[in-house]
Amino acid sequence: MSDLMDTVLIERTRSFIPDGNVEQKRMFGGTCFMVNGNMLVCVSKRGLMARVGKDQEAAALSKPHASQCRPTGRPMPGFIRIEPDGIETDEDLKDWVEMARTYVCALPPKAAKPKKTRTGKAAR
């Protein structure tokens, strides 16, 4: 996927996340969207990583172009990797974002971590 296609996918994904408490961060080699501090989806050149939770994992894996997320060789329970072909249409992308929102929006908000200074110590 080219840089332009990556940027377009980020914009398409953002359009399906209307929550005001959404944060965008660079993580996992891509752009992650966080809701209340919890990762929702991550867009990268490899496609989409969606946090769907363990209860929806089997249903998610039954969809075309979906596989278990294994960034280090070990599975990440509740996280699904979707190939670029699986998110070509807005309808497909929206379905994945909605599946992730169902799980992530039910999670309690994460407390903000204190920012570190240049010396590596937490700021007071």
What element of type H or E holds 111? Answer: none
Q: Are 89 and 82 in contact (CB under 8 A)?
A: no
Q: Are 8 and 84 in contact (CB under 8 A)?
A: no
Summarised one tens digit per residue, pLDDT across range 47-65 is 999 999 999 999 999 999 9
The bridge status of strand 79-82 relative to strand 30-35 is unpaired
This prediction has a pTM of 0.82
Q: What is the DSSP string of 44-105?
A: ETTEEEEE--HHHHHHHHTSTTEEE--TTSS--TTEEEE-GGGGSSHHHHHHHHHHHHHHHT
Summarised one tens digit per residue, pLDDT across range 75-113 is 899 999 999 999 999 999 999 999 999 999 999 888 777
16 CA to centre of own chain: 12
